[in-house]
Structure 1
Amino acid sequence: MLSHMKPLDLSLRIPAEVPDTLPDKRFDSLLRIARCHFEVVDAVFLPEAVSGSWEPVLEGRVAPGLSDVFSLCRYLTPHDDVLVVPDTFADGRFHRQLHDTGNRPVRFLASCPVIAHAAEPVGFFCLLHDTPRDMTEEDQAFLRDLARLAAGIIERDGTQVRLEEDVDALREGERRMTLAIAGSGTGIWDRDIKAGEIYYSAGWKAILGYTDTEISNRIEDSYTRIHPDDLDYVRAAIRAHFEQQTASYEVEHRIRCKDGHYKWISSRGRVVSRDADGTPLRMIGTTTDVSAIRGLSERLQQTVDLLTNLTNEVPGLVFQYQRTPRGESFFSYASAGIQDMYELTPEQVVADDSAVNRLVHPDDLPGYLMSFDVSAESLAPWHFEYRVWLPRQGLRWRQGDARPVRLSDGSTLWHGFITDITERKRIEAELQEFATVDFLTQLPNRRHFMMQIEAELTKVQRALVRRSAVLMCDLDHFKLINDQWGHSVGDQALRHFAAILRDQLNAWDLAGRVGGEEFAVVLSGKDIGQAAAFAQLLQQRITGTPLLVGGQHIPLTVSVGVSVIMASDASADAALSRGDQALYRAKKNGRNRIECYEVV
């Protein structure tokens, strides 16, 4: 009898994508089809409760008075199947009569859960009739189809909301980028290679002193503005990139302005589309006015004394590096900064560059040498970041930039600068760590953990490992800890648990903080039994290592759900979902428990 059933669990969960208020009109067509097809008095959509309230939908209007029907459907209907009650009066589970919105007795009841992509019911599609009847398998299948269509409507609305949010974010990003470019003194160009046209932004035209309507977009006109002495160099750099000899197009050259004088610009771009034969179709890039930098460089080269005095004071290495047609390479000039950059003297590199090459990290040396080969072949600017091993300083990072010129004897001569970027690389590494590590627990954050578990799924699917287990761990009564002792103690509890968890992991295991007090673990190569043993040991360690704050013992226990990664999983979310279901059982059955999701 219904009176002997367990209390109905009204703690409902709805995917965040489902709107809190469901428009009544969305389900009208489905409800009319159901009512006509099944010839029943009422067809109604019962949504899951939100914040303790819910509104049944009955053909474009709210249908109050169906709370009993809703509670019974949610309690009795299987998660993914149809509930059919031919006659509620004759069914021992009902201790009193049900009534519909017209206060008519409900004799016949059929219900099917509406399951959205989050794999949780978001409501029930129900049929109500005032006389007893039954349903064939075909009718049940049709009711399932209607429930799936209702789920599709809900998912569509959630998708629309997300799309609108993405569009707003994209527009904001475009606005910020436009403001950044406008304030940087940089112009943008977009070249249609096949059509022989090139689009210039207003900022690009302003660099040369033109208004937005005063310059042609024909590519042949663009070449007429390049200084005659630089034209072959520019064409060679473009050709090398078109033929995929270089990863990008990077040149510095002189260009004629509207008033007739020349200024130096730095243009960088990349082919962004090619046809099936590899022929370039479109190229996008930027242009920056570097006249001031070029002017300084040319003045520095006017006298050797001025060059020496200036470069020796610069925190870095100013150099001239030369390669002859016979394959000889050496530094024809090196400032005093070579002592800091390489712990060498200018005299040690004037004959050949072998002393420098021996200091370049072995993993970076091939790329370092190749970068000079590419620059020499296309006369493209040289830019490379690499590591060096120095006797006194140890491992350091260096960045080199130089512009090559071809000498009359066929040699290539670079004028350039090498600087220490070790601190910048350290900051970049820290930023990378911040992006992947949860600051509080020092475990991988959810985003990084999901990348790792997806890689583990790939290993299982490729049979690189036979199996892997997943544990979903949740600290029990964590909200009570925060409320009773404060959030700082709550943070200490999370760090305490993370430290215990980290100490128990092997080098090839994975763990991450995936929620407020929720952690996930992947035990590579372990089955569900071994994972359960791991969870038992984890619980023992928590019990044996109490958290003490100010001499006071803070009770900590953990509930664990265990599942396994299967090769048939479409994504790692499937294994995590199974672990979540097991974790839910562990918490529902009293907490401080271990529950396993057994795959049949």
Structure 2
Amino acid sequence: MPVMPLPANPSSAEDACALPALGAASGRGAHNDDPARAGVTGQDPLLDALMRLAARHFDVAAACVLPGEAADVPAWLGAGVDAPLREALREVREVLRTTARNENESMVEPWIVNDLDSDPAWQACLSRASALPFRFVAAWPLTGANGDALGSLCLLDHAPRELSAQQRASLDDFARVIAALAHEALPSDATLRAELDTLRERERLLALAIAGSGTGIWDRNVVTGEIRYSTGWKAMLGYADDEVTNRIEDSYLRLHPEDLAYVQATMRAHFEGRTDQYEVEHRIRCKDGSYKWICSRGKVTARGSDGHALRMVGTSTDVTSMREMAERLRESVNLVTNLTNEVPGLVFQCRRAPDGHTCFPYASAGIGEIYELTPEQVATNAAGIDALIHPDDLDAYRASFAESAATLAPWHLEYRVRLPQQGLRWRQGDAKPQRLADGATVWHGFITDVTERKRIEAELQEFAMTDGLTRLANRRHFMARLDAQLVLLRRTGGPDCALMMCDLDHFKSINDRFGHAVGDDALRHFASVLREHLRVGDVAGRIGGEEFAILLGGADLDGACTVARRIQDCIAEAPLLSQTGTVVLTVSIGVTQLRVDDVSAETPLSRSDVALYRAKKGGRNRIERA
């Protein structure tokens, strides 16, 4: 949790590397007038600088050199080291020597004790130095050019801790530099200073990197409840260095109340070893009272012998702008989703792979109305939609997508679907394609229900071709069919086709006697007789008034006359039964055959009309040929 940062946004390497050194031998917590501030040797300023640099670099309370047994090694622990610290360091040296002798080894191997309290032998050796409660010690051997044990570079800290592999490598680098200096074997003062400059430059670059990242650092002592923050961490929330306490309890007060329990639970899980690291996003109150979203990451760096967390170090990063951007993006997605879901139709994204596999990665809620499916059912495979397309339209449906993919032309199609609940419905789809880098084609488009429009169109088309009273073909449509039959006859020479003109006899008298309503009933009655007795493919139409025309495909004059007599017999046997009484109907019919040399549809129509005139003049209810 970001409630325990340390140097972030540092302005110097000292701020970045963590805690200031206590002079040559000491790391944190002393003032300039502290006796321990004096140089370790009082003789070599360069070694004195190395100790301060090591203390800062490893973030420990003390860094010093423990002399070995070689006679030519100077006593680097000088009078500048106060008595309690000198006593503690002597104890450490004796323990190292004694342990090495017990193991029949020389002090040429690194010694690292992560927690002195966990080892009774160390506690006994350091009993007289209890005034300085060091709990961590690392002694790295200083070896001369001829293999002599010159001593050890020693790091000490008040809290238990562990050294990473990278820190061990750095400690080895420091030890080699110090050993060369101690043995007066450095190639040159300039070379040594160059190595020191390199170390300082690394610290400077680390400081700049932390400062530029907008990240704050924190260091928490779990045992004491103390937490230290870097300058950058404080500045991130608008605080000056002296405006933030180092108590963990105060850090919890800065947390947003809704996030407190979550942060504490996440940290507790890491303390208990249930997670590899601590990571959480939460809100922290700034100095001005506003809240910032912070991403905090940390890790326990030291644990006691019982596994309890002792120290934790981590970083805090301001992620407010990213959270706000994510929220705006989420609101935009919700808005688009809500809009598309409210549109009466299906808003979709369709993807067709080069191998033809098709899916709908996005489908609005309208898919339930359009296809009676869910978005999940088509997200990876569009087979469920194909199964709903009307069999007569399926080939055209697939071909339309294939052509659009090949030419990148907009997709447009009207097609039928057969749905389990809605039955037969019409759909219209429109979309624009786009080719992807992998060769796939993606369409973004819209599918809507056009069933009602198709019904209206069909009705309008029927009205345009149908006589409103009799529901037979009107004159215009009948003449178009007659023209088409003549074209076929001229092109192929067949088949035979006959044309009949029919006229209800004495129709004017029916209107005069029974009224026009009964006259209309008579026309509808005759039309029903024609529909009942004509074959599929024959065309009957009302030409005007009480005149009707019939086109008989595949019939010669004799066949047409046979049909005409059947119509006359039927109308005679089934008179019109009206509210005013029974109305007896008869019909006169003129018959002709279409000819190749007929100039237009009017030609055979005129011939049959002449034959009709003869039938009426000859006494009505007759059939005449022309």
Give the structure-1-normalised TM-score: 0.47
